[in-house]
Amino acid sequence: MQRRVTILDSTLRDGAQGEGISFSVEDKLGIVRALDELGVTYLEAGNPASNPKELEFFDRAAGLHLKNASLVAFGSTCRKDRSPGEDANCLALLQANTPVVSIFGKCWDLHVREILRTTPEENLRMVEETCRFFREHGKRVIFDAEHFFDGYQANPDFAMETLRAAARGGAQTLALCDTNGGCMPGDILTITTRVCAEFPRTEIGIHAHDDCGMAVANSVCAVQGGASHVQGTFLGFGERTGNANLSAVIPTLQLKCGLSCIPAKNMHALTATAMRIAEIANITLHKNMPFVGRSAFAHKAGMHADGVLKLERSFEHIDPVLVGNHRRFLMSEMTGKSAVLRRVQKIYPEITRDSPILTSIVDELKEKEHEGYQYEGADSSFELIIRKRIEGVEPFFDLISYKVLDELPYDNNHSATATIKIRVGGKVKIAASDGDGPVNALDKALREALAEFYPCLNEVRLVDYKVRVMEPKDATAARVRVLISSADGSDIWTTVGVSQDIIEASWIALVDSIEHKLCGQPSPQCSSTI
């Protein structure tokens, strides 16, 4: 049998402490559903004593029918000189009505003396009595041993005694926390091994922060040392530099180490889950993220691309399909004809290496790059070149004119206004919008004009915008390259535009972005027939 490792996702609690992250109750419920479908064991959903929004979440979450996950309420031990039964925090945890509670307590004598301002004996009482209180109320208890590794290195006897107090109180899981994120993998392995040896019948866990960039490595080392419970956030965001990235931890443990973290049949949903959570959190999924990023299986150098085409594992550590991702060949002047052919054959498998159309596509790629275009980060624009060359895809709309005005002073972050006039089929549409800058205004006006004809564009939002000046010596007359990334909740794509006029470059990229959506997801709602 595969060794089982339980996963506790803290996106809704620790992740919510990340800079720029703010979840509504609906957002939190959406993330719960996504992680439950993936098969995560525990979902740490927050501290019900912290604010009314948390209480509302727990009330509504009680009505969810989860298939795989158990909700976890999070809070601290009772306060000093107080019993759990008279502690408001402990009573709020009961009110959350979750089957599992996660209790954090101090394991570093420095914190006991300087932060809690109490004695070691009183701290041990707080830990033991709080764990016992929740066990007596029928809860599964996870004890988060806060600052455990720092505490162990400073005073190993006290840190271990804190774990013993939690175990005496009935905690079924002892999660060792690298709260400051400063421990090294070798230390994590050594200390976790000792803890597992002392508590052979208790589930030992790891909770790692990423302040040294070691959170995933530390989590894996803890498991190698005997831990069978891993905590983190699904995309790694959290307080300061974040937490262990579970979208990397889970496939590493399951695909590389042969352990069981989620149902094997769900592993292919890993990338889709990452995209779904990024969409809810209103962040862009970083392209370089292991396993689930767009660049995780992207090949640019001709030698690498040629190697993958001949033998996939020559330059890939796993098959991207295993995690629901896909292989990409970046189109650039470094790309060989074989890689371009592979890209073309994904859409038109009948095209061969000797086809004149392939030669014309390669020639256009080189010509466009001479003009300043780069397609290695703008796959969707290159795909449109292929479709237009082979199919002669007609535009989904024609631009008649647009006008963009910037103005100061401005109100409500609306510093620009755009008016646009387009033709779809035989119908002319005029729309106007204000926005936070000229490109935002133009984007909103274009979508408003097209919404009547292509309702599916309501799903699309612009998630990233980059400008690169290609010839700095020309100053304000320089040609610029604009990259726009768009998302619709299930896909992210990037398009490119080049011009000496930044608005025109942005327009080219915007049009490609919309045409990608309309070409890539044909449906009765997304049709060029009016």
3-state helix, strand, coil in the chain (%, to 5): 45, 20, 35
pLDDT 10s digits, 440-468: 899 899 989 998 899 888 888 887 888 87
Residues 362 and 337 sit within 8 Å (Cβ to Cβ): yes
**pLDDT number for residue 528:** 36
**pLDDT number for residue 179:** 95
Q: How far is CA 277 from CA 41, 141, 176, 203, in A?
A: 17, 27, 26, 28
**pLDDT number for residue 529:** 31
With 0-12 CB in 10 A as exposed, 13-18 as middle and 19+ as buried, what is 8?
A: buried
275 — phi, psi (to 5°)? -65, -40
Q: Which candidate, 30, 52, 56, 55, places its Cα nearest to that of 43?
A: 30
CA–chain centroid gap for 147, Å, is 26
Residue type, 94: L
CA distance 189 to 191: 6
Helices 52-61, 25-38: axis angle to 10 degrees equals 40
DSSP 256: I
CA distance 471 to 19: 35
**pLDDT number for residue 523:** 36
Fold of 398-520: Double Stranded RNA Binding Domain (3.30.160)
Residues 43 and 12 sit within 8 Å (Cβ to Cβ): yes
Q: In the block, which residue shows the tokens 């107080």?
A: 82
Q: How far is CA 288 from CA 84, 284, 346, 360, 466, in A?
A: 45, 11, 23, 32, 17
**pLDDT number for residue 298:** 79
Count Cβ neighbours within 10 Å for each residue of 33-61 and write b for 16 or more, e otherwise: bbbbbbbbbbbbbbbbbeeeebbebbeeb
pLDDT 10s digits, 183-238: 999 999 999 999 999 999 999 999 999 999 999 999 999 999 999 999 999 999 99
CA distance 245 to 286: 12
CA distance 422 to 165: 71
CA distance 165 to 245: 30
DSSP 170: T
State how beta strands 298-299 and 229-232 pair: unpaired
CA distance 195 to 205: 10
- The domain segmentation of the chain, as residue ranges, is 6-262, 298-390, 398-520
Cα dihedral: 204, 207, 210, 216 (round 10): 40
CA–chain centroid gap for 328, Å, is 19
Host H or E run for residue 364: helix 356-371
Instruction: Map residue 180 onto helix, strand or coil.
Output: coil
- How many alpha carbons lie under 13 Å from residue 174 in its C-beta half-sphere? 32
Tokens representing 114 are 């300087």
Question: Which residues are CB-contacts of 16 (< 8 A; sequence separation ≥ 6)?
Answer: 22, 23, 46
**pLDDT number for residue 162:** 97
> How many helices, marked H, and strands, marked E, lie in the chain?
17, 16
CA distance 57 to 161: 35
Residue type, 519: C
Neighbouring C-beta atoms of residue 339, cutoff 10 Å: 24
Tokens representing 349 are 């498998």
**pLDDT number for residue 527:** 38
Residues present in the chain in total: 530
Host H or E run for residue 418: strand 414-424
pTM for the model = 0.71
The percent of residues in the chain predicted with pLDDT above 90, rounded, is: 54
Host H or E run for residue 174: strand 173-178
What is the CATH class of 6-262? alpha beta
Residues 334 and 362 sit within 8 Å (Cβ to Cβ): no
Residues 379 and 331 sit within 8 Å (Cβ to Cβ): yes
Question: Which residues are CB-contacts of 207 (< 8 A; sequence separation ≥ 6)?
Answer: 144, 175, 176, 177, 178, 179, 231, 232, 243, 244
CA distance 346 to 333: 20
Cα dihedral: 274, 280, 283, 285 (round 10): 20
In the predicted model, residues of the chain with pLDDT beneath 50 are: 333-334, 521-530
State the maximum Cα–Cα separation within the chain, in Å, rounded to a whole number: 83
